Amino acid sequence: MTAPAGNTREDHPRQLRLYSSCELPTEFGLFRIAVYHAEEEREHLLVHKGELTQDEPLFVRIHSECYTGEVLGSLKCDCRSQLHSAMKEIDVRGRGAIVYLRQEGRGIGLGNKIRAYAEQEKGANTIEANERIGFPADMRDYSLAAMMLELNSIRRVIINTNNPEKVAALQRAGIQVTEVIPSTSQPNPHNVDYLRTKYEGLGHSGLKSVVHDDDCNSRSG
C-alpha cells in the first residue's frame, strides 16, 4: 500500500505489509496482535480487540515505542501509563486498537535518547536536549499509523492522545477523527518538568490539567 501524498516527512511512497498475527492474552484482557513490516525494516504493531470495522468510530491510540519506560519502568516519562491506560480502556469498551510504532525517543532512537537524557541531567529540557545533540524536538512520523488503519478499513476513529500532530496526520490521510480523548496520568517528581515542556513547548493540550494541578500542589506546600 502506498501512503497518501503529503502526510510523511519523506516525499517518496512507503510500503507496509502484514507479516504475522495471533491472539495475545495480557493482564488487561485478551487482545489480538498483528505485526507489520515497513520498508525501513522496522516491525510495527497493531494491538486490537473486537470488530474493527463497524458503523461506530473505533477507539484508537497511536503509541510510539519507549523501551526505558515500558520495559525498564523509567519514571522520566508517562509512556507506560499511557499505553496501559489505553489497553484498559479498550478492554472496557470491548473494541479498539493501539497502533504501536517503533520510533523510540521521538524518532531519534534509543542511543540518542540516552544522549538526550544526559543533556537533561545538565539542565536542558526535553526539547533543548534533542537540539543540543543535533536533532529536532520531535522526528516522529505518523503516516504509517494511518496506513495501518487504512489496511484494516478503519476510516472513523476516536483518538486517545494529547498530541495534535497525530490528529492532523490521520486527517491528512482522510481518516475522520470524531473525538479526541486526552491521555493523562499522575505526574511524579521525575517527569513533571517533562510533562510541562510537552504542554508548553510541543502543544500537547491534554496535559493542561496535569500541569495546573502540579503547580497548585507546589504552591500549597
Say whether 34 sits in a helix, a strand or coil: strand
CA 157 to chain centre: 15
pLDDT at 145 over 70: yes
209 or 167, which is more confident? 167
Among 11-15, 37-41, 209-213, the range with the most confident prediction by mean pLDDT is 37-41
Q: Which residues are within 8 A (CB) of 53 and not within 5 positions of it... i.e. 6 or more apart?
A: 152, 153, 154
At 101, the pLDDT band (50, 70, 90 cuts) reads very high
The whole-number average pLDDT for the span 176-180 is 95
At 53, the pLDDT band (50, 70, 90 cuts) reads confident
Give the three cell numbers for residue 178: 470524531
CATH architecture for segment(s) 16-219 = 3-Layer(aba) Sandwich (3.40)
Please identify every residue annotated as catalytic.
138, 140
148 or 41, which is more confident? 148
At 33, the pLDDT band (50, 70, 90 cuts) reads very high
Q: What is the pLDDT of residues 79-90, one digit of tens each?
A: 899 999 999 999
Say whether 4 sits in a helix, a strand or coil: coil
At 206, the pLDDT band (50, 70, 90 cuts) reads low
* First CA to last CA distance, the chain: 55
Nearest C-alpha neighbor of 106 from the set 142, 157, 156: 142
Q: How far apart are CA 198 and CA 91, in angstroms?
A: 28
pLDDT at 221 over 60: no
pLDDT at 200 over 70: no
Residues present in the chain in total: 221
CA distances from 180 to 59, 167, 188, 212 (A): 10, 8, 25, 20
Average pLDDT score, the chain? 84
Domain ranges in the chain are 16-219
pLDDT of residue 10: 42
- Name residue 177's beta-bridge partners: 157
Nearest C-alpha neighbor of 217 from the set 185, 192, 183: 192
Cβ–Cβ < 8 Å for 99, 141: no
Q: How far apart are CA 145 and CA 3, in angstroms?
A: 10
Q: Which residues are within 8 A (CB) of 119 and not within 5 positions of it... i.e. 6 or more apart?
A: 128, 129, 132, 133
pLDDT of residue 115: 95
Burial 35-51 (b: 16+ CB within 10 A, else e): ebebeeeeebbbbbbbe
